[in-house]
Each structure stands twice: as C-alpha cells, then as structure tokens.
Amino acid sequence: MTTINPTVNAARAGFARGREEIRQTFTNSQDLWNYLFPTVIFLVVMFFMRDATVPGTEFSLGSRTLPSVVGMGIAFGGLVTTMMSLAIEREDGTLLRAKAIPTGMFGYLVGKIVTVAGMTLAAQVLVIVPSLFLLDGVQLNSFYAWFTLAWVLALGLIATLPIGAVFGSLFSNPRNSGLIMLPIMGLVAISGIFYPISSFPEWLQGLAQVFPIYWLGLGMRSAMLPDGLSAVEIGESWRHLETVGVLGAWAVAGLVVAPMVLRRMARRESGSSIAERRDRAMQRVT
C-alpha cells in the first residue's frame, strides 16, 4: 500500500466536498432561486438604464453598470456567502463534524473555498451572458480583456473570502450576521457600482477607496469597457497598480487574521455548544 499524505488527501476530499456542494446548489430550486433572483433584478435595472448615459460621455449607463455589478458580485460572494455559510454551519454542527474527523477542518475549508469560488463564478456568468445580448458597448473580445477579468476576479476572491470567514467566525448567531449587511449595502452605495462617484464629496470617495468593493468594480470596468471610459474614473485612469495594492493589502490582512480567528473558533466548538445554539434556535422558531 502506498502511503498517502494526509494533508494532500484532505485537500482532495475538500475539493470533492466543494464540487458536491455546487452540484447540490444547482439541483436545489431554493438555492438556485437565491442566485437567479438578484441576477434577474440586475438585468432588468441595467436594461432600463441602457438609454441613460454616463455623465460627460455618450456611453450607456447600463453597460457601465454591468462590470460594476460583476465586481460587486465577487465581493458579495467572497464576503457575504462565506460569512453566512460559516455562521450557519457553525450553528448546525457541520463544523463540529469536520473537527471530529482527522484533517477534517482543513478539508472543510478547502471545500468552502471551492464552493464559494465556484458559485461566485457561476453567478457572474449568469449576469454576464444575457447582458452581452441586452447591452451595447461591453467589450470582452480581446485576450487582454479576459486576462484582466481573470486576475481581478482571482485577487478579488482572495481579498474578500478570508475577511468573510473572519466575520462568519465572530457571529455565534447567524441571524445577527445579517447586521453586517447594512454597512455592506452602504459601501455599495458609495462605491460607484450603479453611478460614477467622481461627483461625490472627496471624503466619501476616500472612504470608498479603502474597501474592496470599489476596486473590484473599477477592475471589472477596466476589463469590459472601452479604454476611453477611464476618463470618467477618479484620476482619469483604470489605476491597475492601486487596484492590486488595495486588494492585495486586504488579501494579506485576511490571510493573516483568518487562520487565527478560525482556529480560535474551532477550538471552542463542542457538542454542548452546538446543543446550546440548537436550543436557542428552536426557541426562535416556536
């Protein structure tokens, strides 16, 4: 018998876990609806925005919104999906099961990354493909465009996923984690997703540029829109260097903090802590 490295083995099992979870999402009407519903809304919004123009240009505001929405979608996938599923799976005991199995926690995390990344990707495809038929001016016809899209997507996920995991570990009650949706929605409003922010007060612009949502939107616009449109962005440029800088900083911070927070959370999991949460949840139901 050949010896198998337990860590490599767990990574493979984690991949299988993630694949299975993605398959389950696509065969579950409830989950599928959760992904399709916002997509439909965005498509309708963008469709009605197609005749409005980006201020100072002739370019369709709807077409400008598409890449921004994709950038926001990546941030949401990394932050919110990760956070919610960690909080829920802590409460229902999924994490404790992983803890009771050798290398199970590592496999669980690999599985979570595969699931979140896979579903985020799928959700963006769901937005992009129909938009290409509905909207004019979106250009995804060069290698450079796809290359930019790929690296912004990858870096965006690395920047947001660990942060989502940190928030997910901090909330012991998944319903409380909904609270964090308010500031995130606020960030969306000031991050230039649906309207350019170059006309906003400078302090608001500055605030938006601290967080990943703005940079993900900008990065995706740089991938999908004609070069001339960089003129309406802050600094009249796509600012790739700054995009890498800010998203990279979030990625590093997340990758340093997340393992610590996750380990601390995992240490505290036990049968009785699950039972306690179950009882509390039952009380909420009745």
Partner 1 sequence: MAVVDETGVPAQDVRPEAEDAVLDVRDLRMRYGTTDVLKGVSFTAHPGEVLVLLGPNGAGKTTTIEILEGFRMRSAGEVRVLGVDPAHGDETWRADLGVVLQSWRDHGNWRVRDLLQQFGRYYAPYSNDRITKPWDTDELVEAVGLTEHAGKKVRRLSGGQRRRLDVAIGIVGRPRLLFLDEPTAGFDPEARRDFHDLVHRLSDSNTTILLTTHDLDEAEKLADRIMILAGGTIIADGSADELARRMSTESEIKWTVDGRRFVHSTLDATAFVRELFVEHGETLGDLEVRRASLEDTYMSMVKQFESGAAEAAVREFTAVTR
* CA-based max dimension of the chain: 69
Give backbone dihedrals phi and psi of 199, rounded to 5 degrees, phi first: -90, -5
What is the SS3 assignment for 13? helix
**Can you list the alpha helix ranges (DSSP code H) found in 27-103?**
29-48, 61-76, 82-91, 94-99
Query: Counting contacts by CB under 8 A, is residue 233 touching partner 1?
Result: no
CB of 141 to partner 1, least distance (A): 39
Per-position x/- string for 202-231, each x denoting binding to partner 1 as judged by CB under 8 A, each - no binding: ------------------------------
Q: Which stretch binds partner 1 (CB under 8 A): 6-14, 176-184, 198-206, 229-237?
A: 6-14
CA angle 65, 66, 67 (to 5 degrees): 100
Spatial separation of the C-alpha atoms in residues 218 and 72, rounded to whole Å: 10
Q: Is 107 in the site for partner 1 (CB under 8 A)?
A: yes
Using rule CB under 8 A, residue 136 touches partner 1 = no
Q: How many amino acids of this chain bind partner 1 (CB under 8 A)?
A: 35
Nearer to partner 1, 68 or 177 (CB): 177
Binding mask 61-90 vs partner 1 (x if CB under 8 A, - otherwise)?
----------------------------x-
Instruction: Indicate whether 32 belongs to the interface with partner 1 (CB under 8 A).
Output: no
What is the C-alpha separation between 219 and 71, in angstroms, rounded?
A: 7
Q: What are 60's strand-pairing partners?
A: 53
Q: Which is nearer to partner 1, 97 or 240 (CB)?
A: 97
The stretch near partner 1 (CB under 8 A) out of 5-13, 143-151, 198-206, 257-265 is: 5-13
Separation of alpha carbons 254 and 169, rounded Å: 13
Give me the phi and psi of 60, to 5 degrees please: -65, 130
Q: Does 286 bind partner 1 (CB under 8 A)?
A: no
> Could you tell me how far CA 235 lies from the centroid of its own chain?
26
| Contact positions vs partner 1 (CB under 8 A) | 1, 3-6, 9-10, 12-13, 16-17, 20-21, 24, 28, 89, 92-94, 96-97, 99-104, 107, 269-272, 274-275, 278
